[in-house]
C-alpha cells in the first residue's frame, strides 16, 4: 500500500509553488527593465554626447581654450563611467534573468516529481493526465523561452547601441539617425594568390635582416620598433614656413594618413583617392619624386571614414622592394625602380571605417593583420611571390591597430591587439604563443613594448601593462587617460600616452604610477616616438612637441611644420621625415 503524508507534501509543494511564482515575477521584471533600458538608450542622450560633440567642435575653433578642454575631459570621464556602468547593468541583468528562469524550471520539476500518484488509474484518465501535463510543460517552455529571447535581444541591442554611440563619440562623429548604406559585395577570401598576380623577375630577399634586428640607418616600417627608434643627432628645432632646418619639401600627389619609410637613398609613401591607389618613391637627399606605381584596378569603392581615408596603412620595405596595402584590400610588391613584382586582392575589407593596419617584414615574409568582420586573421605572404606562407584565424572583433615585432630576449614575437585579446604569435609559422583578455572596443591604437612588458590601450576600455615572461599576466591597469587613435610609447622606465584631445601622461612603466600630466594645447592623431632619450609628439596643427623622456616634465622644443598633419614621423640619423596634409618634409641640419 502506497502511503504519503499529504499535509507534509502540500507544505513542501506550496513552498516550491511560491518559489516558482516569485522567480517568474522577478524574471518578468528583469525583462521589462532590459526592454526599458533599450528604449531609454534609443531616446535619451545618457552621457551628454550632443554636448561633448558641440564642445569638441568649439575646441577645434579655439584650441588654446584650457577651460573648454577641461570641460571636455570631465564629460569624457563621466561618459566612460556611464558606459561601463550601463554595460555592467546589462550583463548583471542577463545573469539574474538566467538564474530566475533556471529556478522556475527547477521548482516546477520538483513539484511535478512530488505529485501524488494514484495507484489505480484508468488508461483514459492516464492519457488525459499526461496530455494536460505535456501541454502545461509546453506552455512553460514556450513562455519562458520567449521571455528569455526577448530579454536577450533587447540586452544585445542596448549594448550595441551604447558601443556604437561611444565609438562615434570617440571619433568626434555627431550621432544622428541614419539609414545604413548598402553593404558592399565582398569577394571570396582565399589563401591562394589571385588571378591578377603578375610575377616578373623577383629579387632574392633571403639575406635581408628582419625589422626586429635592423641596425643600419634605415627606417623600414611604421613606428620603428613598437614606438622607438635607435637614431642619433635628431634635430629639435626647425621652422617649416621659414624653411629653417628644412632640407627639402615636396608635394605628395594623392592624400593619405600613412607614414614615410626609408631605405638607402629612397623614401616611400602611398596615396589614394576614389579612383587611384599609388606608391611613391622620393630621393632621400633632394626630395625629387623618382617614380609612381599604380596598384589595383581603381574600380573598387571601399567604405571609409574621413579619419581613415583610402591609404592609411604604412608600407614596409626590405631593401629589395616596397610592399603596400590599401583600403580596397589590394596589396602589391614594387621593386626599387618602380616595377610591379606581384599583386593580390583580398576583396573589399568588411568594416565601417576602412582598413588601416600597417605591414611588417620578417625573414622573407610580409605580415598582414586583417581583422575584419568576416574571417579575421593574421597572415604571412611570401615577399617574392605574394603567396600565402601561413594564415592564422583570430577570434577577435574588427580593429585598425597594427602589429608589432619584438625580441623578448628569448625569441622573436609577433604581437597583435584586438578585442578581447592581446595575442602573440610565432612570426615564422603563425603559431599562437599566448594571449590574454584585457581590452575592449574597436581598437585603434597599436601596442608598445619595452623590457618584457606589452602596453595596450583603447578608449572606453583601459590601459593595461602585460608582463609576458613566464606566461602573460596583468602587471597594472588604469582607465584615467585613454587613447582612441595615438599608440603609446615606452622605454625601460617610462610609458608615454597621448589622448587625441591633446592630453599627455607619463607613467612608471613597471608600477603604473603617474609622474606627470600635461595639455599640448591641440588635438593629436600621430603616435609619440621615443628617440635618443626624447619623446616626439606631432599635433594636428603641425607643431612637434619634444620633451625629455623623464619623470620630470621638460620641454626641449616646439617647432612648427607650417601645415597640418595626422601622421607619425619617421627617423634616420640626423633627420626626421614628416608627412603633412599636402607635402613631405625632410628636417635636418
Q: What is the pLDDT of residues 321-353, one digit of tens each?
A: 999 999 999 999 999 999 999 999 998 888 877
Contact between 430 and 392 (Cβ < 8 Å): yes
Q: Is the dihedral of CA 210, 211, 217, 222 positive or negative?
A: positive
Strands 544-548 and 534-538: antiparallel
Contacting residues for 122 by C-beta, under 8 A, at least 6 apart? none
Q: Is the pLDDT of residue 308 over 90?
A: no
- Mean pLDDT computed over 402-423: 95
Angle at 399 between CA 208 and CA 69, to 5 degrees: 110
pLDDT tens for each residue of 456-490: 999 989 999 999 988 899 999 999 899 999 999 99
SS3 30: helix
Residue 136 vs residue 376, higher pLDDT = 376
Q: How far from each other are the two terminal CA atoms of the chain, in whole angstroms?
A: 108
Number of Cβ within 10 Å of residue 76's Cβ equals 23
Q: Is the pLDDT of residue 209 over 60?
A: no
Percent of the chain with pLDDT over 90: 55
pLDDT band for position 254 (50/70/90)? very high
Contacting residues for 436 by C-beta, under 8 A, at least 6 apart? 421, 422, 423, 466, 472, 473, 474
Dmax over CA atoms of the chain, in Å, equals 109
Contacting residues for 183 by C-beta, under 8 A, at least 6 apart? 350
**Nearest alpha carbon to residue 55 among 169, 208, 193, 204:** 169
Q: Is the pLDDT of residue 212 over 50?
A: no
pLDDT band for position 307 (50/70/90)? confident
pLDDT at 196: 37
Q: Give dist(CA 162, CA 290) in Å, integer.
A: 49
pLDDT at 195: 32
pLDDT band for position 381 (50/70/90)? very high
Q: Give dist(CA 272, CA 327) in Å, integer.
A: 9
- Mean pLDDT computed over 113-121: 54
- Mean pLDDT computed over 289-295: 97
pLDDT at 103: 73
Strands 534-538 and 412-418: unpaired
pLDDT at 101: 73
Q: Give dist(CA 459, CA 170) in Å, integer.
A: 7
pLDDT at 30: 76
pLDDT at 66: 63
**Nearest alpha carbon to residue 422 among 362, 381, 462:** 462
pLDDT at 499: 93
Contact between 430 and 416 (Cβ < 8 Å): no
The order of strands in the sheet holding 453-456 is 448-450, 453-456, 463-467, 473-478
**Nearest alpha carbon to residue 91 among 164, 34, 43, 145:** 34
Helix/strand number for the chain, H first, E second:
4, 33
Percent of the chain with pLDDT over 70: 69
Read off the C-alpha cell for 382.
611570401
Residue 61 vs residue 318, higher pLDDT = 318
pLDDT at 247: 97
DSSP string, 257-280: -PPPEEETTEEEEEEE-SS-EEEE
**Nearest alpha carbon to residue 224 among 546, 550, 568:** 568
Q: Is the pLDDT of residue 10 over 50?
A: no
- Mean pLDDT computed over 32-59: 62
Contacting residues for 158 by C-beta, under 8 A, at least 6 apart? 34, 37, 38, 41, 86, 90
pLDDT at 161: 53
pLDDT band for position 215 (50/70/90)? very low
- Mean pLDDT computed over 203-224: 61
pLDDT at 467: 96
Q: Which residue has the cell 550601463?
A: 86
Distance of CA 508 to the CA centre of its chain: 24
Q: Give dist(CA 341, CA 202) in Å, integer.
A: 7
Q: Is the pLDDT of residue 130 over 80?
A: no
Beta bridge partners of 68: none
Q: Is the pLDDT of residue 125 over 60?
A: no
Residue 303 vs residue 1, higher pLDDT = 303
CA–CA distances in Å: residue 66 to residues 30, 72, 205, 345, 448? 44, 10, 52, 47, 29
CA–CA distances in Å: residue 338 to residues 65, 250, 263, 366, 396? 47, 19, 14, 18, 36
Residue 549 vs residue 107, higher pLDDT = 549
Half-sphere exposure (CA, 13 Å, Cβ side) for 206? Answer: 1
Q: Is the pLDDT of residue 185 over 80?
A: no
pLDDT at 297: 80
pLDDT band for position 171 (50/70/90)? very low
The order of strands in the sheet holding 277-283 is 261-263, 266-272, 277-283, 289-294
Residue 180 vs residue 557, higher pLDDT = 557
Q: Which residue has the cell 520567449?
A: 146
Residue positions counted in the chain = 589
pLDDT band for position 87 (50/70/90)? low
Q: Give dist(CA 524, CA 543) in Å, integer.
A: 10
pLDDT tens for each residue of 520-555: 989 999 999 999 999 999 999 999 999 999 999 999
Least confident segment among 161-170, 236-245, 258-267, 280-289: 161-170
Per-chain mean pLDDT for the chain:
81
Q: Which residue has the cell 550583463?
A: 91
pLDDT band for position 18 (50/70/90)? confident
Q: Is the pLDDT of residue 4 over 50?
A: no
Backbone angles phi, psi at 320, to 5 degrees: -110, -25
Amino acid at each position: 500500500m502506497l502511503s504519503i503524508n499529504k499535509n507534509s507534501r502540500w507544505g513542501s509543494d506550496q513552498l516550491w509553488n511560491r518559489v516558482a511564482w516569485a522567480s517568474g515575477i522577478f524574471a518578468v521584471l528583469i525583462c521589462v527593465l532590459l526592454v526599458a533600458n533599450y528604449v531609454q538608450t534609443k531616446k535619451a542622450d545618457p552621457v551628454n554626447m550632443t554636448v561633448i560633440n558641440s564642445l569638441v567642435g568649439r575646441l577645434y575653433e579655439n584650441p588654446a581654450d584650457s577651460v573648454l578642454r577641461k570641460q571636455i575631459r570631465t564629460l569624457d570621464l563621466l561618459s566612460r563611467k556611464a558606459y561601463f556602468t550601463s554595460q555592467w547593468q546589462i550583463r548583471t541583468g542577463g545573469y539574474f534573468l538566467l538564474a530566475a528562469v533556471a529556478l522556475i524550471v527547477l521548482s516546477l520539476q520538483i513539484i511535478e516529481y512530488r505529485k501524488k500518484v494514484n495507484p489505480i488509474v484508468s488508461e483514459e484518465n492516464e492519457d488525459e493526465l499526461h496530455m494536460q501535463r505535456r501541454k502545461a510543460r509546453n506552455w512553460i517552455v514556450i513562455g519562458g523561452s520567449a521571455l528569455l529571447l526577448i530579454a536577450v535581444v533587447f540586452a544585445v541591442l542596448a549594448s550595441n547601441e551604447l558601443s556604437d554611440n561611444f565609438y562615434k563619440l570617440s571619433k568626434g562623429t555627431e550621432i544622428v539617425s541614419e539609414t545604413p548604406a548598402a553593404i558592399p559585395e565582398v569577394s571570396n577570401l582565399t589563401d591562394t594568390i589571385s588571378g591578377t598576380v603578375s610575377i616578373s623577375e623577383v629579387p632574392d630577399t633571403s639575406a635581408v635582416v628582419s625589422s626586429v634586428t635592423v641596425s643600419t640607418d634605415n627606417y623600414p616600417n611604421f613606428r620603428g620598433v613598437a614606438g622607438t627608434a635607435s637614431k642619433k643627432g635628431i634635430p629639435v628645432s626647425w621652422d617649416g614656413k621659414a624653411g629653417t632646418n628644412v632640407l627639402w619639401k615636396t608635394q605628395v600627389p594623392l592624400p593619405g594618413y600613412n607614414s614615410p619609410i626609408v631605405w638607402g637613398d629612397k623614401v616611400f609613401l602611398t596615396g589614394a583617392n576614389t579612383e587611384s591607389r599609388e606608391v611613391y618613391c622620393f630621393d632621400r637627399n633632394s626630395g625629387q619624386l623618382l617614380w609612381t606605381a599604380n596598384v589595383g584596378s581603381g574600380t573598387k569603392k571601399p567604405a571609409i571614414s574621413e579619419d581613415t581615408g583610402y591609404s592609411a596603412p604604412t608600407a614596409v620595405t626590405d631593401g629589395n622592394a616596397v610592399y603596400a596595402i590599401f583600403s580596397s584590400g589590394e596589396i602589391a610588391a614594387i621593386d626599387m625602380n618602380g616595377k610591379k613584382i606581384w599583386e593580390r586582392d583580398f576583396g573589399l575589407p568588411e568594416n565601417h571605417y576602412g582598413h588601416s593596419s600597417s605591414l611588417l617584414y620578417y625573414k622573407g615574409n610580409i605580415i598582414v593583420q586583417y581583422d575584419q568582420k568576416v574571417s579575421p586573421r593574421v597572415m604571412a605572404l611570401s615577399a617574392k611571390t605574394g603567396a600565402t606562407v601561413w594564415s592564422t584565424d583570430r577570434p577577435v572583433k574588427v580593429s585598425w591597430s597594427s602589429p608589432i615585432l619584438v625580441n623578448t630576449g628569448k625569441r622573436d614575437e609577433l604581437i597583435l591587439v584586438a578585442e578581447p585579446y592581446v595575442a602573440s604569435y610565432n612570426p615564422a609559422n603563425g603559431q599562437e604563443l599566448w594571449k590574454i583578455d584585457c581590452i575592449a572596443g574597436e581598437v585603434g591604437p597599436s601596442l608598445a613594448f619595452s623590457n618584457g612588458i606589452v602596453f595596450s590601450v583603447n578608449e572606453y576600455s583601459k590601459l593595461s601593462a602585460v608582463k609576458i615572461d613566464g606566461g602573460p599576466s596583468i602587471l597594472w591597469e588604469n582607465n584615467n587617460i585613454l587613447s582612441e587613435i595615438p599608440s603609446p610609447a615606452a622605454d625601460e622606465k617610462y610609458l608615454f600616452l597621448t589622448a587625441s584631445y591633446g592630453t599627455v601622461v607619463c607613467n612608471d612603466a613597471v608600477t603604473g604610477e603617474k609622474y606627470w600630466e600635461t595639455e599640448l594645447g591641440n588635438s593629436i592623431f600621430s603616435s609619440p616616438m621615443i628617440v635618443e632619450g626624447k619623446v616626439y609628439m606631432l599635433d594636428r596643427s603641425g607643431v612637434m612637441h619634444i620633451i625629455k623622456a623623464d619623470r620630470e616634465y621638460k620641454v626641449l622644443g616646439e617647432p612648427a611644420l607650417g601645415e597640418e598633419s595626422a601622421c607619425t614621423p619617421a627617423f634616420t640619423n640626423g633627420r626626421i621625415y614628416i608627412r603633412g596634409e599636402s607635402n613631405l618634409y625632410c628636417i635636418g641640419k
